[in-house]
Structures are given as C-alpha cells and as structure tokens.
C-alpha cells in the first residue's frame, strides 16, 4: 500500500481571474534575467484588461516581472 499523500492547492482568486480575463490578450511571453515572466499584450487589448492585470499581478501565482509590453 502506498502511504503517499497528494495535496492539491487551489489557485488564488487573482490567478483564476488572470486566466479567465487577461491571458487571452497575451501574445508573447519571455523570461528576464531573474527568470520572471514578461508578457506582451495584443495591440488591441482593452485598457480595462491592462488595469485589471496591474491590480492583480502581485497576487498571481506566477513569477511575474514588473515589466510588460503592449504590441505597437
């Protein structure tokens, strides 16, 4: 019998909001020198999506950089 215990944690509310409302506007991602994610948003991303991202990014369960870009 395997006595192993698997524990699954639910993502934060902000992480769910990110995947449901923000992620679809991201067209590219890369990592900085500290291995943090830098996102590039589509040029037609609504302003309210960028505002939401700025509001929730510190509570997203991902290693995010402070930098992000909007395609020009």
For the stretch 43-63, pLDDT in tens is: 999 999 999 999 999 999 999
Q: Can you give the pLDDT at residue 9?
A: 83
Q: Are 59 and 17 in contact (CB under 8 A)?
A: no
- Walk across the sheet containing 26-31 and list its strands: 26-31, 37-41, 64-70
Q: Are 43 and 71 in contact (CB under 8 A)?
A: yes
Task: Give pTM, 2 decimals.
Answer: 0.84
């Amino acid at each position: 019998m395997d006595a192993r215990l698997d524990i699954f944690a639910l993502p934060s509310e902000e992480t769910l909001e990110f995947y449901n409302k923000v992620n679809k506007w991201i067209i590219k991602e890369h990592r900085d020198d500290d291995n943090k994610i830098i996102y590039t948003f589509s040029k037609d991303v609504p302003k309210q999506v960028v505002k939401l991202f700025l509001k929730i990014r510190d509570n997203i369960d991902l290693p995010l950089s402070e930098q992000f870009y909007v395609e020009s």
